[in-house]
Amino acid sequence: MLKEILLGVVLAVLVFLGLEGLDVWPLLFFLGVGLFVYATGLAQRLTQGRPRRVVSGAGTPAVTFQDIGGQTTAKHELQEALEFLRKPEAIAHLGIRPLKGILLVGPPGTGKTLLAKAAAQYTDSAFLAASGSEFIEVYAGVGAQRVRQLFAEARSVARREGKGSAIIFIDELEVMAGRRGQHHSHLEYDQTLNQLLVEMDGMATQEGDVRVLVMGATNRADLIDPALLRPGRFDRVVQVELPDREARLAILQLHTRNKPLADDVDLEAVARDTYGFSGAHLESVCNEAAILALREGSPRIRAAHLAGAVEKVMLGERIPRSLDQADIRRVAIHEGGHALVGELLDPGSVASVTIAPRGQALGYVRQSPDDERLLQTHSELRTAIAVCLAGSAAEVAVTGEASTGAANDFQKAWDIARRMVLAGLSPLGVVAEEALSPEKLYDTVNAIVSQERQRVEQLLQAYRPALEALAARLLEAETLPGEVVRELAGMHSPQAGAESA
């Protein structure tokens, strides 16, 4: 900003002097020369780019596949693909074409970068890392130059370290390798991608004695140009998925091996309660649990610390309550409705229910399914809709009116119902979205939601004593485990009332 201001002042002075009749052309000449020199130096610095992170060599902490919890399938597939770097003679004897690229695809936090580092350690290769955003600038040709420099630097580093291979890891690959033709006003993206294609094809005629493998990571493989995904460039696509329960347990054991755990800690229970967590989430859970233990002055991490850490990672830090008693009671009824209906329609699924505000949530019901399924049935989707609607229905059943606190629940219920229609699980049967009119889609989704709303209202009417008892317990304790919900549902069920009568 200061440079722009000074330039403006200089130009204003020159204009003033020119109006006063002074010959300013020599000054303008020298000013132009200075601007040219400055712009040339700036372009050179941009072309050179940022320093690459060389993650190899002496003194660098080694990451092995044993240091990565879970991801058994991804590690096995990756190790198989890396054999051509470890056994080049056997590969050449069999006439196998060396792989040029491996693409790691998966959600954020699943360990793609760690897998790339472990691959370099596994193959004893030089390792260079860069981000896709480092190659894109406003100056045309800068990205292509940086790609050439990266490949040249990889070979130079490998020779300097006495290694026969190098791995180039490009994170967020979709930034520099998006589909061509999408940036009509800026061809820098296409030039950068074209240079990467040339380098991977070996057309740069600078391969030498160093074998180079490109590893990319992305969570949006659909954005990458198809020319980069064909065989001969990225030959393997390795899926790095969210960990299942067994993998989550392995990750938790890995991240707690240097932490003192109390005797009441059950990592299997934590793994069961963290459905949908990535490896990064689980590492954060272990770290936050240690912070909670430090804050309390506890020498060991207890089960309560881990439970609090799960909620903090999922919802955020606990915030001071600023609600009046009427609103607090409404929140207790709302969350009690979610928990009660969830337990009645899917027994054993509720892990805990709380009205302690965290982040943007005034309360929360945490569920832990008994088994993890990749597919959902018609009845399971209807149950999910019913649980979403239960909070608002509970408010109406007890207080006589609903509140704005259920807006997010309604959106989730609507999205699930819409997914049912498009999956062929509605009375319409198998449908094509583009052939379905907006009015027909709306009517069908609305019918599904309305039907589940009626079911929830009838269920809460039958279990209203259990709902009010659960809300009262929440007002006392703020947080209750799923066992209390199951206990109250059994004590105040219509069958129990009939037997006592």
Please state which CATH class domain 245-315 belongs to. Answer: mainly alpha
Going by C-beta distance under 8 Å and a sequence separation of 6 or more, which residues neighbour residue 467? 333, 336, 337, 340, 394, 397, 398, 460
Residue-wise pLDDT tens digits, 373-388? 677 889 999 999 999 9
| Residues 378 and 420 sit within 8 Å (Cβ to Cβ) | yes
Catalytic residue among 335, 395, 452, 468: 335
User: What topology does CATH give the domain 325-494?
Assistant: Methane Monooxygenase Hydroxylase; Chain G, domain 1 (1.20.58)
Tell me the CATH architecture of domain 53-239.
Answer: 3-Layer(aba) Sandwich (3.40)
Dig out the tokens for 297 from the structure: 């002055």
Q: Dihedral, CA atoms, 481, 484, 485, 486, nearest 10 degrees?
A: 120
Nearest to 128 by CA among 84, 161, 95, 174: 161
* Sequence-distant (≥ 6) Cβ neighbours of residue 458 within 8 angstroms: none
Residue 24 has which token pair? 């300013």
Q: Around Cβ 486, how many Cβ atoms within 10 Å?
A: 17
Q: What is the pLDDT along the chain (501 residues), one digit of tens a residue?
A: 556 666 666 666 666 666 666 666 666 666 666 665 555 554 454 444 444 444 444 434 578 888 888 888 888 888 888 888 888 777 777 787 778 889 999 999 888 989 998 998 888 888 988 888 877 765 556 777 888 888 888 888 888 888 888 899 998 888 888 777 665 545 667 778 888 888 887 644 445 578 888 999 998 888 888 888 888 888 888 999 888 888 899 999 999 998 999 999 899 888 888 888 889 999 999 999 999 999 999 999 999 899 888 888 887 777 766 677 888 889 999 999 999 999 999 888 888 888 887 767 788 888 876 656 677 889 999 999 999 999 999 999 998 888 888 889 999 999 999 999 999 999 989 988 888 898 999 999 999 999 999 999 999 999 999 999 999 999 888 888 888 888 888 876 666 555 554
Looking at every residue in the chain, the average pLDDT score rounds to: 81
Is 335 catalytic? The answer is yes
Residue 414: per-residue pLDDT: 95
Round to whole Å and give the CA distance between 461 and 229. 56
Q: What is the pLDDT of residue 85?
A: 80
% of the chain exceeding 90 in pLDDT: 25
DSSP assignment of 399-435: HSS--GGGHHHHHHHHHHHHHHHHTT-STT-S--GGG
Tokens for 409, please give them: 């629940």
pLDDT score for 53:
47
| pLDDT given for residue 196 in this prediction | 84
> Is there a contact between 133 and 175 (Cβ–Cβ < 8 Å)?
yes
In this prediction, residue 181 carries a pLDDT of 67
| Contact call for residues 102 and 81 (beta carbons, < 8 A) | yes
pLDDT at 405: 82
Residues belonging to the chain = 501
In this structure, what token pair is assigned to residue 177?
């390798």
pLDDT at residue 13 in the model:
64
Give CA angle at 358 (111, 289), nearest 5°: 50
Q: What are the residues whose beta carbons fall under 8 Å from the beta carbon of 195, sequence distance 6 or more?
A: 143, 144, 147, 148
DSSP single-letter state for residue 177: S
Strand partners, 367: 350
The C-alpha atoms of residue 312 and residue 358 are separated, in whole angstroms, by 7
Are the C-beta atoms of residues 413 and 449 closer than 8 Å to each other? yes
Q: Please enumerate in sequence order all residues whose Cβ is within 8 A of that of 208, keeping only pairs 6 or more positions apart, or say none.
A: 155
What is the predicted pLDDT for the residue at 51? 40
CA 2, distance to chain mean position in Å, is 39
